[in-house]
A = this chain, B = another copy of it.
């Protein structure tokens, strides 16, 4: 099967409520990615670029692909804006891998950005809400918290006791985020804090929901055969899978499984030729705590209903046998929409090079990222190995 692409550089801004605008965030993440390349890189060798962002609902700036060309300092290069809601970053990485595989470019820039906190509440609910189903969900009054609240209700009804696992997902991810200097929240919380917080959409409370964040992340993706030009320790992309589905959760056979995640994972593992037991850790799309449990099951790391016990066993903690979201996840690190899928790969880049500092997972050699758009409407899964 072999390597399909190589990550040779990665950059990341702080996630959170930031003063910087979208252009400055984008520039900062890209500058960081360029500066991170061990043997250096000339921007003139970047021959393709993809931008992941929901975009101008928040920015009041459109034509985002040209904004990318400007802020990256690469006029002349073809730039493409990919907007797959919250999965934009995962699909942008996939597009970069495709570009490299097509054999027409050696070095591709992938950047993700969102500026969210300067958009007022009502406007933001519309801006984000349209990424869910409109006819059957949004116009009936459901926000994303509402939709995931329904999924959580179903899960808890089917699996009594899983409420403790939801609290543990939040506790664990905050513990990880406390060690991530880029995280929106760098604060430990207890399971009691989670259970005692105000409800947002029952059974989900404040600490079950990811925050609204500003931020950006960027990657440099090279053809495997030229990776050594840039670094002795690339992180290889070995498998990529993606799938789309209906927007409305009512169209799915079950409320507690996202077929798009299952299909994407199957494709990624099949094309990589890997077994799940080889994976050292996961970065999954925990926009709400329930989403992390569903992801563990849909990605094939737990049987239906068993993600709860797996989580409560401590297996998914940073020191466990299958760490999940060592960077804090969307829950604690934050979720600047377009940046999220790119940021997951940033964490993989650090961990697989042994550069994650106090949150380093000992012996990490293979990793999976999982990025979801809407309530399971689209999903992208990628598999990475240390060089």
A interface residues, Cβ below 8 angstroms from B: 49, 54-57, 59-70, 74-85, 91, 94-95, 98-99, 101-104, 129-132, 134, 242-247, 259-260, 263-264, 271, 373-374, 377-378, 380
Contacts and interface: CB of A to CB of B under 8 A. Distances in A.
B102 A85 contact: no
B373 A63 contact: yes
A88 to B, nearest CB: 9
Contacts of A91: 65, 78, 80
A54 B259 CA distance: 27
Contacts of A61: 130, 134
**Central interface residue in A54, A68, A83, by most chain B CB within 10 Å:** A83
Given A82-B82, A85-B63, A243 B76 contact: yes
A78 B246 contact: no
A56 B80 CA distance: 18
Contact of A377 (B63, B83, B247, B374): B63
A54 to B, nearest CB: 8
A154 B259 CA distance: 56
Given A68-B244, A99-B98, A130-B61, A80 B84 contact: yes
- What are the 5 A-B residue pairs with the smallest beta carbon separation, nearest first? A62-B130, A66-B377, A78-B242, A69-B244, A101-B102
Nearest to A97: B102
Contacts of A99: 98
A308 to B, nearest CB: 28
A65 B377 CA distance: 9
Contacts of A104: 98, 101, 271
A60 B134 contact: yes
A247 B67 contact: yes
A246 B264 CA distance: 36
B245 A75 contact: yes
A83 to B, nearest CB: 5
26 contacts: A54-B62, A56-B130, A59-B130, A60-B130, A62-B132, A63-B132, A63-B247, A63-B373, A63-B374, A63-B377, A63-B378, A65-B378, A68-B244, A70-B247, A74-B244, A76-B259, A76-B263, A78-B94, A78-B264, A80-B95, A81-B84, A82-B82, A95-B95, A95-B98, A101-B102, A102-B102
A329 to B, nearest CB: 22
Contact of A378 (B55, B79, B103, B130): B79
Most buried by B among A60, A64, A130: A130
B62 A245 contact: no
Contact of A373 (B65, B95, B271): B65
Contacts of A374: 63, 66
A89 to B, nearest CB: 12
Nearest to A53: B83
Nearest to A376: B66
